[in-house]
Amino acid sequence: MSAYADILIQNLYLYSFRNYLDIYIVELLFSKCDLKIEENFIDEEDETAEPYTRYSYQTTVKRAKERLDAMGYSVISSEKYLVANVFEVLDYAPFLYHLGVSFDELEDESKDRIEKYFTFKKWKNALDRIIKHELKHGNITSFSKDHDFCPKTEYDKLIYYALKDEGAESYYAIDIEVMDLAYIFRQILECCNNDDSIILDFTNLVSWDEDNIPSAIDCTEKCIVLVEGSSDKNILEFALGMIYPHLADLFYFMDFSDQNGNTRPGGTPEIKKQMEVFYYSKLQAKFIAVFDNDAIGFKDKTLLLYEKIKNWPENFRILCYPQNSFFNKYPTLAPSGQLLFDNINRKACSIELYLPDRLIKQDGGYFPIEWESRQKIKYADEGTEYLYQGVISNKEKIKKDFHKLKNDIESGKESFDISEWKRMKELLDAIVFAFKYDQNI
């Protein structure tokens, strides 16, 4: 006898598994930290039920949307894909069969109706109406009553009859052999409330295969992130785990050492070298290069973007730490020793400047920037700019204090206060959602 498990949002069954979990589908919505194993669980709706161990993944719509966005399956990219492939993607067959169109006429009639009626907005609005109905009343299927939902528009009918047709080979009238299911999930989640729970209870499947319990989710494909040094890596990994724990498994910050004591150099030249290696390897994984928001970082980001490789593929992103208004008037030391306030964006913003204020302040004042060398930045349009490179003073003290704070938080001596980490969250957003928008670089 078969066993089933369903991904449930309110009364909507988003996806159903038979006997085994499809790990690709699971990892689109859930991370390892979403796993819940509840011993002596009692189903309150069944008064005669005995306690059992319940296995489930549980998240929210908001977190699942962030996860899909981080993977590159955003609302914008899904719209672009559907529009570009609309003739191959939309499954008109169930609707046209309902209208009495013969098999031989399907292809031409589908093409004619798409050309006449299709806009992405119309499809999206129809999906929104149907999903909201299903969230409240349950799925539209071949077994549900005809009066459960009254389709009115062309795309209401397109989706409705695809759902009603038990033999339909599409998902919400989308051919998932052409369009990745992840894109459709993302559009469906846009129709839900952010705080809605998404639950996959797979207790029934546990006896089928031990891979149905959590270790299998470790196979998640990771986006490779290159940063300038080990301090950047350590700080970003910690902050990512605190701010976006449900996304941490999607990213791998390249190591600077291994368990045998071997090391690799850091710095901007190494980022450039590695990114060029990844480019010529023609790997399909995602890669992000992240430079400091200082003169050297901005210079080498510009060189990487335009010097040798003019058109980077869609699976590459090349970034600097984001500029922030907080840095518009930051204390700096003039050669005379005078304290001046200057805009240090693209001049002196290393990872330390994005840490909580208490780590970069002493006696009520911020540690000032000390100026070093002047950098020449040459742009693709042949324009040139000169920027001074600066470094925050007391850098070693800041690193030491960060590690103490990190250890205190991880040991439970101190709680993680997100309000202190606003600049770091902005930095992480630039990395984590680098593929959210359908644009390269």
Same domain, 158 and 245: no
Average pLDDT over residues 184-195: 97
pLDDT band for position 357 (50/70/90)? Answer: very high
pLDDT digits (tens, 9 = 90+) for 48-80: 777 888 899 999 999 999 999 999 999 999 999
Q: What is the pLDDT of residue 382?
A: 65
Q: What is the pLDDT of residue 438?
A: 57
With beta carbons less than 8 A apart as the criterion, state whether 176 and 189 touch: no
Q: Is the pLDDT of residue 169 over 90?
A: no
- Picking from 201, 216, 231, the residue at the C-terminal end of a domain is 216
Helix (H, G, I), strand (E, B) or coil at 41: strand
pLDDT digits (tens, 9 = 90+) for 279-305: 999 988 999 999 999 999 999 999 998
- The verdict on residue 439 lying in a domain is no
- The verdict on residue 441 lying in a domain is no
Same domain, 311 and 205: no
Q: What is the pLDDT of residue 147?
A: 64
Whole-number Å distance between alpha carbons of 12 and 191: 12
pLDDT band for position 441 (50/70/90)? Answer: very low
Same domain, 118 and 136: yes
Residue of 192 and 209 predicted with greater confidence:
192
With beta carbons less than 8 A apart as the criterion, state whether 160 and 149 touch: yes
Same domain, 149 and 290: no
pLDDT digits (tens, 9 = 90+) for 124-139: 999 999 999 999 999 9
pLDDT band for position 401 (50/70/90)? Answer: very high
- The verdict on residue 271 lying in a domain is yes
Same domain, 138 and 115: yes
With beta carbons less than 8 A apart as the criterion, state whether 158 and 117 touch: no
β-pairing, 12-18 vs 4-9, is: antiparallel
Q: Identify the CA nearest to 250 among candidates 434, 421, 59.
A: 434
pLDDT digits (tens, 9 = 90+) for 235-275: 999 999 999 999 999 999 999 888 888 888 889 999 999 99
Whole-number Å distance between alpha carbons of 287 and 285: 7
Q: What is the pLDDT of residue 56?
A: 92
With beta carbons less than 8 A apart as the criterion, state whether 350 and 389 touch: no
- How much of the chain exceeds pLDDT 70, in percent? 94
- The verdict on residue 438 lying in a domain is no
Q: What is the pLDDT of residue 20?
A: 86
- Picking from 198, 216, 234, the residue at the C-terminal end of a domain is 216
Same domain, 45 and 30: yes
- How much of the chain exceeds pLDDT 90, in percent? 73
Average pLDDT over residues 328-336: 91
Same domain, 199 and 255: no
Q: What is the pLDDT of residue 211?
A: 58
Same domain, 168 and 244: no
- Picking from 216, 241, 259, the residue at the C-terminal end of a domain is 216
Whole-number Å distance between alpha carbons of 354 and 441: 22
- In degrees to the nearest 10, what's the CA dihedral of 417, 418, 424, 430? 160
pLDDT band for position 398 (50/70/90)? Answer: very high
With beta carbons less than 8 A apart as the criterion, state whether 253 and 237 touch: yes
Q: What is the pLDDT of residue 268?
A: 93
Whole-number Å distance between alpha carbons of 160 and 162: 5
Same domain, 270 and 356: yes
- The verdict on residue 234 lying in a domain is yes
Q: What is the pLDDT of residue 378?
A: 75
- The verdict on residue 316 lying in a domain is yes
Burial letters for 158-188: b for 16+ Cβ neighbours within 10 Å, e otherwise?
bbbbbbbbeebebbbbbebeebbbbbbbbbb
- The verdict on residue 437 lying in a domain is no
Query: Whole domain around residue 375: which residue ranges?
Result: 221-432
Question: Which position has the token pair 């901005």?
Answer: 298
**Structural domain count, the chain:** 2
Same domain, 185 and 269: no
With beta carbons less than 8 A apart as the criterion, state whether 171 and 90 touch: no
Q: What is the pLDDT of residue 30?
A: 95
- The verdict on residue 404 lying in a domain is yes
pLDDT band for position 335 (50/70/90)? Answer: confident
Mean pLDDT for all residues in the chain: 91
Q: What is the pLDDT of residue 373?
A: 82
DSSP bridge pairs for 370 = 333, 391
Same domain, 230 and 358: yes
pLDDT digits (tens, 9 = 90+) for 77-115: 999 999 999 999 999 999 999 999 998 999 999 999 999
Q: Identify the CA nearest to 151 among candidates 188, 193, 98, 190.
A: 98
Same domain, 63 and 161: yes
